[in-house]
């Protein structure tokens, strides 16, 4: 991927901001799932989106994989913002709690990811997915990531 080659000398925060601004292409999963990057600062990111009917499961609500994916993206990108140039990370574990169902009526969503701990090798983060209109919590999660040199 050309974006990865261009990003080689960037810090994690520079890379995430370049993706969110459109300077670097967003990963295809964001188009598939219907969310985009919003704000990014060191240790924190926000994604915004809206779940479409194509994400419904057989019981008539948005599949839990949508919430899992946007939370994983927000928490992982929050960790990414703490990386120095030449560092990378991978997810070791993710846990999500589904609090309320997501439907078309839920409307616009906001997902915030925040780093809780950033050590030399391990980083942890938490995320919250809320309905923008009502402010109601829909799902929340935690992640543990391994940080390493490329």
Every domain of the chain and the residues it spans: 2-23+34-149
Average pLDDT estimate for 88-95: 98
The yes-or-no verdict on residue 20 having pLDDT over 80 is yes
Q: pLDDT at residue 6 above 80? A: no
Average pLDDT over residues 33-54: 96
Residues 2-23+34-149: name the CATH superfamily: Hotdog Thioesterase (3.10.129.10)
58 vs 78: CA distance, rounded Å: 32
pLDDT in tens, 62-82: 999 999 999 999 999 999 999
DSSP string for residues in 56-123: B-TTSSB-HHHHHHHHHHHHHHHHHTTPPTTEEEEEEEEEEEE-S---GGG-SEEEEEEEEEE-SSEE
pTM of the model: 0.94
């Amino acid at each position: 991927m050309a974006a990865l080659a261009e990003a080689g000398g960037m810090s994690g925060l520079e890379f995430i901001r370049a993706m969110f601004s459109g300077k670097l292409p967003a990963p295809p999963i964001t188009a598939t799932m219907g969310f985009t990057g919003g704000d990014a600062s060191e240790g924190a990111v926000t994604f915004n989106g809206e779940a479409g009917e194509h994400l419904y499961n057989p019981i008539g609500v948005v599949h839990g994989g949508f919430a899992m994916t946007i939370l994983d993206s927000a928490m992982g990108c929050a960790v990414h913002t703490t990386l120095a140039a030449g560092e990378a990370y991978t997810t070791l574990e993710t846990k999500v709690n589904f609090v309320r169902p997501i439907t078309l009526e839920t409307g616009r969503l906001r997902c915030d990811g925040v780093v809780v701990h950033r050590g030399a090798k391990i980083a942890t983060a938490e995320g919250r997915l809320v309905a923008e209109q009502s402010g109601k919590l829909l799902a929340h999660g935690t992640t543990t990531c391994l940080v390493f040199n490329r």
